[in-house]
Structure 1
Amino acid sequence: MSQPLSVHTLYKRLERVGQGAYGSVFKGLELATGNVVALKIIDLDTESDDVLDIQREVALLTRLRDGPNITKYYGCHLDGPRVWIVMDFASGGSVLDLMKASPDNALEEKYAAVITREVLVGLNYLHKSAVIHRDLKAANILITAAGKVMICDFGVSALLATTSSKRNTLVGTPFWMAPEVAQGIGSTSSYDTKADIWSTGIFIYEMITGGPPHMGISGERALQLIPRSKPPRLSEAQASKDLRDFLPFCLTESPLDRLTAEDLLKTKWIKSTIRTPVAILKDLMLRYDAWRKANKDDDESPLSWEADEARQ
């Protein structure tokens, strides 16, 4: 992991742009080339109990570095008690950032469909590589300057022994958890890559409505409600028929009844975007830039449900 040269001779850390499952994410500059990169910096003194998780994240990023629509990983460096993980920088921010600049904190369906299509391409690769992301949500989907969509933050991802293996650990963010995950440790419940398919459905719901179901209540309460509640649906006023038909392919109680990422790419709603390039997402970035200039003081402020989640 370490290099003979100090990381400070290789990269310059600029402003903080986000927070991962472990550590903070900064905009950075590769000094030799002038290229802008993302620097995820983790303090092992404060995250000492999670060193193995951090090592697993680095190993996973290395394995997935050439995957489609996955944050590209360039290397890892030690800086005293800190680890610097160097990755692609997404100047467009996260989908959650783009939502903040949109009316009612929600995205228009034409944008949500393209983002979903690109996320499914990445998920299909992950799942065929026997990886469950386990924390799929708007905050963990990044957009590059060209409009490319990238799945990021593999801090809680699981590598399965085989593509048919299952997990039974309770990880992720409560509001996006599948029912079989929310039931938690100690039960007979187990889950596999279909848990990410549920989270994809919640992520779509989040983009269209401005937040996940059950927002405004505690994460602990959401964990209790998710396995007992009917799967969320969108109304006729909120979404097209194709999207309303699509959502139950993701949001259904039984994992066996959820489609795979590969099959979801073949659905009518997703196929309707086949001629729509990712460059359309530049519209959202222009809107976000204008919003940032008009709301400088609010740029780093969380959405209401984010603040509730942070207090858990």
Structure 2
Amino acid sequence: MDNYEKIRVVGRGAYGTVHLCLRLSDKKHVIIKQIPVEQMTKDERQAALNEVIVLSMLSHPNIIEYYENFLEDKALMIVMEYAQGGTLNDYLQSQNGRLLEEEEILCFFAQMLLSIQHVHSKQILHRDLKTQNILLDKTKKVVKIGDFGISKVLSSKSKAYTVVGTPCYISPELCEGKPYNQKSDIWALGCVLYELASLKRAFEAANLPALILKIMRGTFAPISEHYSNELRSLILSMLHLDPGKRPDINQIMAQPIIINAIINIHTDLGKIPCARTYRPITPALPSTARSRVRGSAVSVRESMPAKPQSLSSVYCWGGGINSAIKLPLPTNDTQVIEVSAGRTQKAAVTKNGRLFNWESQGVGADSLIPGALDTGSPGYFPRFLEGQSAVAIQHVACGDLFVACLTDRGILMTYGSGAHGCLGHGSLNDVTQAKIVEALLGYEVVQVSCGASHVLAVTNENQVFAWGRGDNGRLGLGNADSHTTPQAVSFPEGSSPCFVNCGVDCSMIITLDNKLFCSGSNRYNKCCLDENTREGVTTKSVEEVRTFTRVTSPPIGNSLVKTVATGTSHSAIVTVDGELYTCGANQFGQLGYQTDFNSKQAGLVSTVKDRKITMVACGDTFTVAVSQDAEVFSFGKSARGRLGRSDSDTMTPKPVSIPSDEVFTVVSISCSHGTTLLATKPTQSVTD
């Protein structure tokens, strides 16, 4: 137990004691089941090990996760996932007689079906399904099947004869001493579904003989007409006295009443199958909380052109492209709502919930190979992300070699390189198709940001999670450790994070009250963490911080911050009033003004002070800003077309020429290293 700290006892039973513990390595709460084995016979010890055998064979988001086991103090210790929401039985009792809505019942039941299908596919019988063994996460929306202590692993497809399980849920065939098979688990699952719909057990009696008689007769109170005929018929079929006439797990999942619930579960809570075919998507409209990503649209206030217009345009420059070019879109009616650029990716999200990437046709001017020639503009073609048949994507963020995307239901998925654990899947393995970050199931993520090798995500409840590479303290966890799964970030009480931004080796967070917090490397004072006087005199230099620290020095400490962006060694900050401030290194003029060598204080970009800036993005050594009137300015290093024009390095913001015949609104902008992506739409299509 050296790796764990006991918190309290949460349960006792015939098999031993259950402890809630803190895993010291990552401060995660776990359950440890302590089963004394000293006085057990050889067969009893083997029975105690059975739960370990079963759990180690199972891996499913709706099954309590098994971590490890060990022997200590003459007891077998089984370490498992902790479900904070308690049991389904507790949840039903808390309803105080108020029936659940059918949609909620089907949501719970669909998750149970998915987990039991996984169990049965491994030739395992649960044999003790009941509401006391069905657990909930802290949101009380995600179901976790637990307690496999008396499960039976079948060496063949033979049937189990042992009479086990809680009497109220045992099947008629067990009452008669007949073999136990998957259909007995279906009976128990039917009892659970009945309980969900009635808040009462299907079979109860004052003593065991009376209970057995009720079960053998199949007599139970009718189900409320509050529920659909389909649901009531399903319960009756699962509680059929003849096991041969009960549906199996796949037949239940194929019923129309269940199909929609399972699709929603696959979208919201389970793993998403990645198919190679695409079906039209009709996504739900994102809520206000879900669409709280910073940077509002800006428009050109001119007359509308008369000729027909495209619904969206996306422009690209940099990486050898010396002026803005228009990228092809998948279809003529594609409406792009967001773009994101990474070192090797160019991604976009459409209004109807599709994510696509632009791929280069062979090695061209965008090549990362040293010595590649700047000859001509590379060709790009768009390709939809595979496996979106039941998913509506609303937000995307690109890292160096990986991508994170967010569904309209707040589910986070990642794919690409697993280096440094930046995918959040608990390993360093690469993933070729989008996979759910399972550690965040049960949270509604509203925004995500990717750095070169780390990720931050914020939820609708203003919680922040961080993972990936941790040196310099960029994760804000108080140390320089790296993590392969999301870790909760502590934040000062009273502060509510709502926007996250990841740089190369630092991170920034904006709160609901528009305060700026930073963590990680403060090289060149790019995070504005040096303590300065109003006159710009540095009184304390800060190299790095490992927890999120509020920026208090003027001028940023006195301003209300709307959005931020970070480059390799500088950052840009836009205030609620539309003022643009920059800080950090200025070797190539990326701050937009002349700086004194000794001065590190954030400064106002005075050249654009008469414009209201609404969006900003930083590349490695340059900055791009967008005004309320859709003017696009760039400044800094000009090599390989970074500024979108044939220019030398400049510290004076100058306009980028966008080759459009239309009066447009800027929808989204993103920079990475030496490349910029800009998405627009015709002004008259603005309905906000």
**Do the two structures share a fold, i.e. TM-score over 0.5?**
yes
- Whichever residue aligns with residue 201 of structure 2, its letter is P
Alpha carbons 2:198, 2:223 under 8 Å: kept: no
The separation in 2 between residues aligned to 1:191 and 1:90, in whole angstroms, is 29
Q: Does 1:55 align with 2:49?
A: yes
The separation in 1 between residues aligned to 2:183 and 2:27, in whole angstroms, is 41
- Whichever residue aligns with residue 49 of structure 2, its letter is Q
> How far has the Cα of 1:67 moved from its partner?
3.2
Q: Does 1:210 align with 2:195?
A: no
- Whichever residue aligns with residue 235 of structure 1, its letter is I
Pairing partner for 1:221 from 188, 210, 232: 210
SS of 1:54's equivalent in the other structure is helix
Judged with a 3 Å threshold, the aligned counterparts in structure 2 of structure 1 residues 197 and 260 are, in CA distance, closer, same or farther, namely: same
SS of 1:24's equivalent in the other structure is strand
Alpha carbons 2:64, 2:81 under 8 Å: kept: yes
Over residues 75-122 of structure 1, what are the superposed CA-to-partner deviations in whole Å (9 max), with x where a residue is unaligned? Answer: 012121222210011001110111121122754433221111001101
- Whichever residue aligns with residue 116 of structure 2, its letter is L
Judged with a 3 Å threshold, the aligned counterparts in structure 2 of structure 1 residues 19 and 122 are, in CA distance, closer, same or farther, namely: farther
SS of 2:258's equivalent in the other structure is helix
1:116 counterpart residue number: 109
* Equivalenced residues, count: 269
TM-score (norm 2): 0.37
Q: Does 1:90 align with 2:83?
A: yes
> How far has the Cα of 1:179 moved from its partner?
0.6
Pairing partner for 2:144 from 145, 150, 172: 150
Pairing partner for 1:264 from 252, 265, 286: 252
Pairing partner for 1:73 from 38, 55, 66: 66
The separation in 1 between residues aligned to 2:78 and 2:23, in whole angstroms, is 13
Q: Does 1:197 align with 2:186?
A: yes
Alpha carbons 2:63, 2:115 under 8 Å: kept: yes
The separation in 2 between residues aligned to 1:78 and 1:105, in whole angstroms, is 45
Shifted more, 100-109 versus 28-37: the winner is 100-109
> How far has the Cα of 1:50 moved from its partner?
3.1
1:102 counterpart residue number: 95
The separation in 2 between residues aligned to 1:266 and 1:142, in whole angstroms, is 25
Over residues 109-163 of structure 1, what are the superposed CA-to-partner deviations in whole Å (9 max), with x where a residue is unaligned? Answer: 332211110011011111111111011011111111353211100111111122x
Alpha carbons 1:178, 1:195 under 8 Å: kept: yes
- Whichever residue aligns with residue 144 of structure 2, its letter is M
The separation in 2 between residues aligned to 1:47 and 1:211, in whole angstroms, is 37
The separation in 2 between residues aligned to 1:91 and 1:80, in whole angstroms, is 27
1:3 counterpart residue number: none
Over residues 214-245 of structure 1, what are the superposed CA-to-partner deviations in whole Å (9 max), with x where a residue is unaligned? Answer: 32422343124312x13546434353212112
Pairing partner for 1:275 from 255, 261, 264: 264
Alpha carbons 2:203, 2:220 under 8 Å: kept: no
The separation in 2 between residues aligned to 1:237 and 1:12, in whole angstroms, is 50
SS of 2:97's equivalent in the other structure is helix
Alpha carbons 2:237, 2:245 under 8 Å: kept: yes
> How far has the Cα of 1:53 moved from its partner?
1.2
The separation in 2 between residues aligned to 1:197 and 1:145, in whole angstroms, is 27
Give every structure 1 segment of 4 or more consecutive aligned residues whose post-TM-superposition deviation is greater than 6 Å: 279-282
Judged with a 3 Å threshold, the aligned counterparts in structure 2 of structure 1 residues 76 and 220 are, in CA distance, closer, same or farther, namely: farther
Over residues 40-85 of structure 1, what are the superposed CA-to-partner deviations in whole Å (9 max), with x where a residue is unaligned? Answer: 1122257667322111111111122x23421110001212122221
Alpha carbons 1:179, 1:253 under 8 Å: kept: yes
Judged with a 3 Å threshold, the aligned counterparts in structure 2 of structure 1 residues 91 and 252 are, in CA distance, closer, same or farther, namely: same
Structure number with higher helix proportion: 1
- Whichever residue aligns with residue 110 of structure 2, its letter is R
- Provide structure 2 residue ranges, at least 5 long, that are not aligned to the other structure: 270-408, 411-440, 443-688
- Whichever residue aligns with residue 150 of structure 1, its letter is K
2:458 counterpart residue number: none
The separation in 1 between residues aligned to 2:14 and 2:232, in whole angstroms, is 32
Judged with a 3 Å threshold, the aligned counterparts in structure 2 of structure 1 residues 21 and 179 are, in CA distance, closer, same or farther, namely: farther
- Provide structure 1 residue ranges, at least 5 long, that are not aligned to the other structure: 1-6, 283-312
The separation in 2 between residues aligned to 1:12 and 1:220, in whole angstroms, is 45
SS of 2:227's equivalent in the other structure is coil
Q: Does 1:253 align with 2:241?
A: yes
Aligned Cα root-mean-square deviation (Å): 2.6
Bigger relative CO (Cα 8 Å, ≥ 6 apart): 1
Pairing partner for 1:235 from 223, 240, 258: 223
Structure number with higher strand proportion: 2
Alpha carbons 1:20, 1:153 under 8 Å: kept: no
Q: Does 1:137 align with 2:130?
A: yes
Alpha carbons 1:174, 1:220 under 8 Å: kept: no
The separation in 2 between residues aligned to 1:170 and 1:107, in whole angstroms, is 32
Alpha carbons 1:233, 1:244 under 8 Å: kept: no
The separation in 1 between residues aligned to 2:98 and 2:35, in whole angstroms, is 30
1:10 counterpart residue number: 3
SS of 1:42's equivalent in the other structure is strand
SS of 2:264's equivalent in the other structure is coil
The separation in 2 between residues aligned to 1:111 and 1:54, in whole angstroms, is 35
Over residues 159-216 of structure 1, what are the superposed CA-to-partner deviations in whole Å (9 max), with x where a residue is unaligned? Answer: 1122x321221100111011111223xxxx2121110001000011122222312324
- Whichever residue aligns with residue 57 of structure 2, its letter is R
Q: Does 1:160 align with 2:154?
A: yes
Judged with a 3 Å threshold, the aligned counterparts in structure 2 of structure 1 residues 198 and 83 are, in CA distance, closer, same or farther, namely: same
Judged with a 3 Å threshold, the aligned counterparts in structure 2 of structure 1 residues 47 and 144 are, in CA distance, closer, same or farther, namely: farther
Judged with a 3 Å threshold, the aligned counterparts in structure 2 of structure 1 residues 29 and 251 are, in CA distance, closer, same or farther, namely: same
The separation in 2 between residues aligned to 1:263 and 1:60, in whole angstroms, is 25
- Whichever residue aligns with residue 34 of structure 1, its letter is K
SS of 1:36's equivalent in the other structure is strand
Alpha carbons 1:77, 1:85 under 8 Å: kept: yes
The separation in 2 between residues aligned to 1:143 and 1:268, in whole angstroms, is 26
Alpha carbons 1:231, 1:253 under 8 Å: kept: no
Alpha carbons 1:175, 1:219 under 8 Å: kept: no
Q: Percent identity?
A: 29
Over residues 225-267 of structure 1, what are the superposed CA-to-partner deviations in whole Å (9 max), with x where a residue is unaligned? Answer: 312x135464343532121121123111111111111221121
Judged with a 3 Å threshold, the aligned counterparts in structure 2 of structure 1 residues 106 and 10 are, in CA distance, closer, same or farther, namely: farther
Alpha carbons 1:208, 1:238 under 8 Å: kept: no
Shifted more, 110-119 versus 234-243: the winner is 234-243
SS of 1:103's equivalent in the other structure is coil
